[in-house]
Amino acid sequence: MSELTAEDLDISVAIPAYNGATRLPKILDKLLTQTGVEKLSWEIIIVDNNSSDNTFEIIQNYQKIYNGNCHLRYFLEPEQGAAFARLRAVREAKGQLIAFLDDDNLPAPNWLSEAYSFGLEHPQAGAWSGQIHGDFEVNPPENFERIQAFLAIREHGSNPYLFDADNLRLPPGAALVVRKQVWRENVPQRPNLSGKLPGILVQGDDYEPLLYIHYAGWEIWYNPTMHTYHQIPRWRLERDYLLTLARGCGLCIFQLSLINTKNWQKPIVFIKTILGNLRRVLKHRIHYRGQLKSNLIALFEMEFYLASMMSPFYYLKSNLRKGLKNKFAL
């Protein structure tokens, strides 16, 4: 167990960034004007995940602005993937709490103080998240609320509650607060799911560390007093992107289900994943017969169910590919 030292800060805000030079000024301006943080010792960490734009220069300029308010630190993480950027942030953070924000999340003025207060009031919480509202460039399609959680929009009302981690009902990795010590003690240093990479569809990197935290006995909470605004550009509401997102979210389902699963249970989970999603596919096809080509939201859901049904086979194929790669690398 890692011991806290006198040098530990109250909270670190960690921002993984990839080509975020145009987005980072907005979020840094929001953090510069946070309220209720006068008595907090805190810092901001930018983890640059191999950006090819001028992210570094932007951070250098803001380091001058932030001088005297809080520390703004920059790190380059060469291993591609959001999961590796988050792991780097955890290694570098000096805060007892780590508040993750993506570079397209805009926090409300009291977001940081509400995040810190919730941690004090809920000592058994290993992680917590709040309300994430959509900030849309264009109006979303009809019935978009059915799939908005896939775009990290969470509006679950004004009452706090525990997330149902056993059924993969969890908050996204953005606008998430974790206890640094809890993460370090329970989350492996090498993730199974890396996040979006060229040629890799599978998602799930947000949920993997949370499942390790949950199975270690820590609670994961929804805190409605924390508000952030997720900027959704036009292209994220287009058909091709949404269907790719649906497939990526579905293909990780079996792999996430294996976390904390004993070997003898794996064949059962394998069969349940296939049959359970086959049932959903058939039911969905009957309900939306003749509408799937014209109803984007129903098509998204069908794509997710199909990918979830295929996720056990995707997992086996990926493991076989890794095994062959390691064999020929020897």
Mean pLDDT of 28-35: 95
Q: Does residue 329 surpass a pLDDT of 60? A: no
Work out the pLDDT band at 2, boundaries 50, 70, 90. very low
Mean pLDDT of 209-235: 97
Q: Does residue 3 surpass a pLDDT of 50? A: no
What local confidence, expressed as pLDDT, does residue 160 receive? Answer: 98
Mean pLDDT check: name the lowest of 160-164, 246-250, 315-319: 315-319
Residue 131: strand, helix, or coil: strand
Q: What backbone torsions phi and psi does residue 44 show, to the nearest 5 degrees?
A: -125, 135
What local confidence, expressed as pLDDT, does residue 4 receive? Answer: 44
The domain limits of the chain are 9-237, 246-329
Mean pLDDT of 15-26: 95
Mean pLDDT check: name the lowest of 62-71, 85-94, 265-274: 62-71
Rounded CA-CA distance 198/196 in Å is 7
Mean pLDDT of 237-257: 95
Burial 199-211 (b: 16+ CB within 10 A, else e): eebbbbbbbbbbb
Work out the pLDDT band at 198, boundaries 50, 70, 90. low
Mean pLDDT of 114-119: 98
Q: Which two tokens stand for residue 135?
A: 């900030």
What local confidence, expressed as pLDDT, does residue 192 receive? Answer: 87
Planar angle of CA 30, 171, 138, nearest 5 degrees: 60
Describe the crossing of helices 82-92 and 207-215 by its angle, rounded to 10 degrees: 50
Contact 122, 213 (CB under 8 A): no
Average pLDDT over the chain reads 92
Instruction: Tell me which architecture the domain covering 9-237 has in CATH.
Output: Alpha-Beta Complex (3.90)
To the question of pTM greater than 0.85 for the whole model, the response is yes
What local confidence, expressed as pLDDT, does residue 325 receive? Answer: 58
Work out the pLDDT band at 278, boundaries 50, 70, 90. very high
Q: Does residue 162 surpass a pLDDT of 80? A: yes
What local confidence, expressed as pLDDT, does residue 66 receive? Answer: 78
What local confidence, expressed as pLDDT, does residue 1 receive? Answer: 40
Between 77 and 327, where is the model more confident?
A: 77
What local confidence, expressed as pLDDT, does residue 57 receive? Answer: 95
Mean pLDDT check: name the lowest of 20-34, 189-203, 246-260: 189-203
